[in-house]
Structure 1
Amino acid sequence: MRDSTSIANKLRCSYFIFAVLLCAAFVSIFVAAEIKVERALVESRLLQQLQLSQAQYGLQDIYVAEPGIKIYRFDVAPAALQKEVTTTVQEKPVMAEGHETSLHFFTYQQKQQRYILTYLQDTNLSPENYPVLAIFEYFEDIFDKALLAAIVLSLLVAILFSYLSSKQIIKPLLDLKSAVESDHQNLTQLTHLPSEVGVLARAIADKNHELAYYLKREQLFTGDVSHELRTPLTIIMGASEVLAAQLPSDSRLLTFADRINTTAKETSEIISALLLLSRAPEKLDAPLTSISTIANAEVERLSYLLRHKSVTCQVSATQDYTAYVRPELLKMALGNLIKNAFQYTDEGQVTVIIDADKIAVSDTGLGIPSEMVSVLYERFTRLEHSTTASSLNPNDSQHLTDETNSMGMGLGLSIVQRIMTHLDWRLTHEANSDGGSTFIIHYNSQPPAETNPIGQLH
């Protein structure tokens, strides 16, 4: 089915509509001229017949002549004619001898006497009775057929011309489309054109150079940050392991050493995931990854957020569902959704439901205000949590640090949305009827069409 919004189809429709309007204008002019000529001929014929009848029969109330001519003195004419008649020739359909025909009539003032002259059109008009009117009827029939043929031919020519001309008009745009789709290798061939297509080609080429420059800068920045941060993170992890090994088994500092080591590892994984996001999706491998394993690991990792809350969490899956995805990206996406659910739920339950085509993270927390739904995935957009650092137990330094850091800067959902776009998955939000929110990741469990070799992270 053709797209009615395409430029080519719009041009074709415009040509056809123009042809229809032009034909309608010619038909209107022809019909108006035809009616005017016919009325003039009828009027002259009836006035001529009035003079002949008066000369032959003298003054009478009604004159009858062939074919179809009848002249009334106004006061003896049918009442219906007296009401409708004017000085201009009129025409109305009537039934005569079992078939429909036309009645022409008008009024004429002769000295002190007024007449109504009528002519009942005869389809078998004989040239001997009125040659001029008979010839006009003959040519009228020919003109009608010729006009119909001209209209049909004009519409066919308009369709053919519109099709050919639209192809020529749209061809430069199609060339531009092909040049853009071919990695811009042929775009430079169009930039020298003086037409509007050349202007578009130059604008697209300039924009492509700018985008390539900014993309290269982002990739270099991400790679440099990843490279520079890995060394200190490795040192931190090594130092925390040495510290944990040297501490007594019953020391309270073991918890902090483990926390340092775990956070350093998580930061390293985040850096790896961000580096993956900076690459083109088609250049990444997609290993078969267990969704349930990632979900359970993230629930366990973030369980400290529920340490001082009456909130339970459950991961529900009828089997071990898998998807072809980098585990770092899935971990970051699920981790942000679960973290938000834990952070904004003070009591009730958080449920992670996994099935064959989606992952749903549902909570009984604050929910999303309606005014925030439209900006839900914008950067630095976040809810204000009722729990603040001042309301916590100042003696619980571990919980104080975790709760304060967990509030975030409103980047979590925007990162998840970016990951979904990168994976060609989809993220949706639903408000729960009993309060809280449900975020659903609609994933693709089928392997990608092409799987590239595993790339090395720098």
Structure 2
Amino acid sequence: MFTIDSIANKFRISYFLFALLLCTTFVSIFMYAEMRIEQDLVKGRLLQQLQLSQEKEGEQAVYIANPGIKIYRYDSAPEDLKALANNVVQEIRVTVNHQTGATKTNLHFFAHQQNEQKYILTYLEGTEMVMENYPVLAIFEELEDIFADALKIAVVLSLLIAALFSYVSSKQIIKPLLDLKQAVETDHQNLTELTHLPSEVGVLARAIDEKNHKLEQYLKREQLFTGDVSHELRTPLTIIMGASEVLASQLGDHSRLSEFAERISTTAKETSEIISALLLLSRAPEQLDTPQTSINNIASNEVQRLKYLLRYKTVTCTVVAEQEYCTYVRPELLKMALGNLIKNAFQYTDEGEVIITIDAEKIMVSDTGLGIPETMMPLLYERFERLNGINTGDQVEGSGLGLSIVQRIMTHMGWKLTHQANTTGGSTFSIYYNK
């Protein structure tokens, strides 16, 4: 499909317009030259006829010389010619009546001062020119039509050649860019082959290659950092979990203290799972194995895990699913994404309900809470962007990273996250997992 945004099409249009402008310039020059030549020939012919008529007929009010020449003494000329005539040959369209009917033709005329007498000399174009009277003008009028036809053919051919040449040349100009595009999309080796080119494409290839190298170094540093942090944190977390289990076994009947020990163990396990999920995010998606995972179980577990956020609120939470739904995904990533959405819904809802709906294509988390102002929509998935508290105006506890992490997980898994404001207040976030 033709589009003006294409560089190739812009080049073709520019080349065609340039050819059209060039042809217009040549046609204008030709028409101007043709007009000046015709004016000089007509003027010379009429001045010659004035001299011949004066020698032959003496002083007359009107001289008539066939074919088509009529010379007026200024005081005897028609008023319309007096109003228009000057010393430059002019041309107007006139209607001539014949026995066969009326025809339109051109009337050439100009004013001429001879001594103290002024004349208006006219020549009616289209009348058969007698060769012996003024053969140059007769030949010119015959050649004028030939040149005009030849010029039309030349213009058409020039535009066709320009269109063909612009199409071929634009392909050759765009080819290095297409090669660069293919090299960027395939592998680093093909791009390296273009960096030695001295042209603008080589400069662009070197810039892209340098940027790719910087991105590779950045990603490598990020992966190393994530791996190092995960490795360093696992050891103290393992110690904490072990110590909490030992502590719980020694507390015996101290139920309140056992509850704290259990909470320490649970939090350490959750932190370990988060570290595992972050480590998975640092790997390429194609390097991850994706076992069949129950969405219902993860949703229910996350609701139970985060239910402490609703302890002092009049908020109910319901998981709605017609059947058991499964998908192929790393459970750590789905747990982190869904957990962040549920946590936000719990934190920003003071009364009403939170409903998690699961079907064959999406997971919806809907609440009756604060909702998201229109002004924050462009920053919805930006890091560290947060809403204020509902009642106090203070910020709800959190880092402002939840939605940005969810969006990153969606991109990593090739899923889709959408937001919709509820008509009764609150928000609905939907994870489309079956794409």
Structure 2, unpaired ranges of 5+: none
1:320-350 CA distance string (max 9 Å, x none):
4444332222221222122112211222333
Letter in 2 for 1:408: G
Letter in 2 for 1:166: S
1:161-220 CA distance string (max 9 Å, x none):
333433333333333333333321133333333333333333333322222222112112
Q: Which stretch shows the higher mean deviation, 89-98 or 216-225?
A: 89-98
Report the counterpart of residue 42 of structure 1 in structure 2: 42
CA distance in structure 1 between the aligned counterparts of 2:332 and 2:45, rounded to whole angstroms = 99
Q: Which stretch shows the higher mean deviation, 431-440 or 373-382?
A: 431-440
Report the counterpart of residue 426 of structure 2 in structure 1: 436
Q: Which stretch shows the higher mean deviation, 200-209 or 303-312?
A: 200-209
CA distance in structure 2 between the aligned counterparts of 1:277 and 1:123, rounded to whole angstroms = 92
Does the residue aligned with 1:176 lie in a helix, a strand or coil?
helix
CA distance in structure 1 between the aligned counterparts of 2:412 and 2:152, rounded to whole angstroms = 60
Letter in 1 for 2:352: G
Q: TM-score, normalised by structure 1?
A: 0.83
Aligned runs of 1:383-422 on 2, under 5 Å? 383-386=387-390, 407-422=397-412
Shift of the 183–66 alpha-carbon distance from structure 1 to 2, 3 Å rule, reads same
Shift of the 347–119 alpha-carbon distance from structure 1 to 2, 3 Å rule, reads farther
Letter in 2 for 1:427: L
Letter in 2 for 1:106: F
Letter in 1 for 2:354: V
CA distance in structure 2 between the aligned counterparts of 1:51 and 1:321, rounded to whole angstroms = 111
1:352 CA drift (Å): 3.1
Aligned runs of 1:7-406 on 2, under 5 Å? 7-96=7-96, 97-122=101-126, 125-248=129-252, 251-386=255-390
Letter in 2 for 1:169: I
CA distance in structure 1 between the aligned counterparts of 2:75 and 2:302, rounded to whole angstroms = 106
1:144 CA drift (Å): 1.9
Shift of the 109–247 alpha-carbon distance from structure 1 to 2, 3 Å rule, reads same
Does the residue aligned with 2:248 lie in a helix, a strand or coil?
helix
CA distance in structure 2 between the aligned counterparts of 1:297 and 1:59, rounded to whole angstroms = 123
Greater relative contact order (Cα < 8 A, sep 6+): 1
Letter in 2 for 1:71: I
Report the counterpart of residue 5 of structure 2 in structure 1: 5
CA distance in structure 2 between the aligned counterparts of 1:172 and 1:115, rounded to whole angstroms = 71
Q: Which stretch shows the higher mean deviation, 150-159 or 274-283?
A: 150-159
CA distance in structure 2 between the aligned counterparts of 1:333 and 1:75, rounded to whole angstroms = 103
Asked if 1 retains the 8 angstrom alpha-carbon contact of 2:67 and 2:127, the reply is no
1:65 CA drift (Å): 2.9
Q: Which stretch shows the higher mean deviation, 315-324 or 218-227?
A: 315-324
CA distance in structure 2 between the aligned counterparts of 1:101 and 1:267, rounded to whole angstroms = 99
1:257-284 CA distance string (max 9 Å, x none):
3322222222122112111111112222
Asked if 2 retains the 8 angstrom alpha-carbon contact of 1:19 and 1:154, the reply is yes
Asked if 2 retains the 8 angstrom alpha-carbon contact of 1:233 and 1:268, the reply is yes
Number of aligned positions between the proteins: 431
Letter in 2 for 1:220: L
Shift of the 57–299 alpha-carbon distance from structure 1 to 2, 3 Å rule, reads farther
Does the residue aligned with 2:189 lie in a helix, a strand or coil?
coil
Asked if 1 retains the 8 angstrom alpha-carbon contact of 2:67 and 2:128, the reply is no
1:75 CA drift (Å): 4.2
Report the counterpart of residue 396 of structure 1 in structure 2: none
Letter in 1 for 2:330: R
Asked if 2 retains the 8 angstrom alpha-carbon contact of 1:270 and 1:332, the reply is yes
1:411 CA drift (Å): 0.8
Over aligned residue pairs, what C-alpha RMSD do you find? 2.9
1:356 CA drift (Å): 4.3
Question: What percent identity do the matched residue pairs reach?
Answer: 69
Shift of the 64–432 alpha-carbon distance from structure 1 to 2, 3 Å rule, reads farther
Report the counterpart of residue 424 of structure 1 in structure 2: 414
Structure 1, unpaired ranges of 5+: 392-403, 447-458
CA distance in structure 1 between the aligned counterparts of 2:70 and 2:360, rounded to whole angstroms = 91
Letter in 1 for 2:231: H
Letter in 2 for 1:134: A
Does the residue aligned with 1:312 lie in a helix, a strand or coil?
strand
Shift of the 66–423 alpha-carbon distance from structure 1 to 2, 3 Å rule, reads farther
CA distance in structure 2 between the aligned counterparts of 1:189 and 1:22, rounded to whole angstroms = 40
Shift of the 203–165 alpha-carbon distance from structure 1 to 2, 3 Å rule, reads same
Letter in 2 for 1:235: I
Asked if 2 retains the 8 angstrom alpha-carbon contact of 1:324 and 1:445, the reply is no
CA distance in structure 2 between the aligned counterparts of 1:75 and 1:250, rounded to whole angstroms = 136
Q: TM-score, normalised by structure 2?
A: 0.87
Asked if 2 retains the 8 angstrom alpha-carbon contact of 1:103 and 1:119, the reply is yes
Report the counterpart of residue 445 of structure 1 in structure 2: 434
Shift of the 246–125 alpha-carbon distance from structure 1 to 2, 3 Å rule, reads farther
